[in-house]
Chains A and B, each alone.
Chain A
Amino acid sequence: MDHLLKERDLAGESSRNGNLQMGSVKLSLEKRAAVLALVCSLIALGGALLIAGPIQELANSAFFAGKPSSGIAVSPELLAQGSGFFAQSCADCHGDDAHGDEGPDLHGLAISNARIAAQIKNGTKGEMPSFAKKYHDPEIAALVAYVRSLR
């Protein structure tokens, strides 16, 4: 009887040890995975922030920055004309340097010329007035060229 009880105790202990061991293996796997996950997160985040600088340089290069694509021939005169229109009608909200005030910053806009022109023409209800009556296509083209020149 004693012998049987001892055997049962041993079996129970080994089973408990087995569970504990299994539990500790699980825990260590989860912990190791958590450490690796943290490392991967930091590498991904750090990598993204590190490549931001080179991307900034690359994005400002002629190839990536793009050129006005709506058939606007950009000349210094056109830019000067656009700058004049900007000072007259846009600087109040977008700031004298176009870095934003009430309206958003206009430097490095990642939208097409057609979209910029449509925004100037139509405005946005409650946010920006329409300039369709004040400016016609040639003037809007000058404004677009000026806004596009802001890097």
Chain B
Amino acid sequence: MSIDPALWPRLHGASTHFPVALAMAAALCDGLSAVCPEGSPRKARLRGAGYCTIILGALGTFPAVLSGLLMTKGRVLGRDAELFHHLFVWPAFALLVGLGTWRALVGDKASRRGFAIYLAVLFLTAALMAGAGYWGGELILNS
């Protein structure tokens, strides 16, 4: 008895879209909350949504990374499209875990400056996630 090798790409595909989408959603919600007037209910709702999405996104990276490692048989870099995919994935993974941790600990007690730095790093992470997704797609198209 053996596991079908096609299981890992399927699991990776199933798990990887959650952190990508959640990171984007967090960037969108927190980005919009930054332009809302101070103290408005919309700002609070967007911050709440940003809080949930970044934490869920950070948690979602673990199954995505694990299934990816199983899919590539432990290759952490690879070559061609896989190399580019990994060059985006690893920093995005580390940043997303860091952002999720920071947000979970700070909650809604962030200072204006702290939140601005968080937001800048979040945008960078969302861009890295987009790059990882793009090269992941290239990898599948070329395989």
Q: Is the interface of A mostly helix, strand, loop or mixed?
A: helix
The complex places the Cα of A145 from the Cα of B2 at a distance, in Å, of 16
Q: Which of A38, A41, A42, A105 has the most CB of B within 10 A?
A: A41
Give the distance to chain A from B118, nearest Cβ to Cβ, in Å.
9
Identify which of B21-29, B45-53, B89-97 touches chain A. B89-97
Inter-chain contact B69/A38, CB cutoff 8 Å: no
Give the distance to chain A from B119, nearest Cβ to Cβ, in Å.
13
Instruction: Return chain B residues, CB-CB under 8 Å to A37.
Output: 97-99, 101-102, 105
Inter-chain contact B102/A33, CB cutoff 8 Å: yes
Inter-chain contact B97/A66, CB cutoff 8 Å: no
- The number of chain B residues touching the other chain, given as a range, is 35 or more
| Nearest A residue (CB) for B61 | A44
Using a Cβ–Cβ cut-off of 8 Å, how many residues does chain A contribute to the interface with B? 45
Q: Knowing that A63-B1, A104-B80 are A-B contacts, what are 11 other residue pairs whose CB atoms are under 8 Å apart, sorted by A's residue number?
A: A27-B111, A32-B105, A33-B105, A40-B101, A45-B90, A54-B74, A55-B69, A64-B3, A64-B70, A105-B79, A111-B6
Task: Write 5 A-B pairs (CB below 8 A) sorted by A numbering.
Answer: A30-B102, A37-B102, A66-B2, A108-B73, A110-B71
Residues of A within 8 A of B (CB): 23, 26-27, 29-30, 32-34, 36-38, 40-42, 44-45, 48-49, 51-57, 59-60, 62-67, 69, 100, 104-105, 108-112, 115, 124, 127
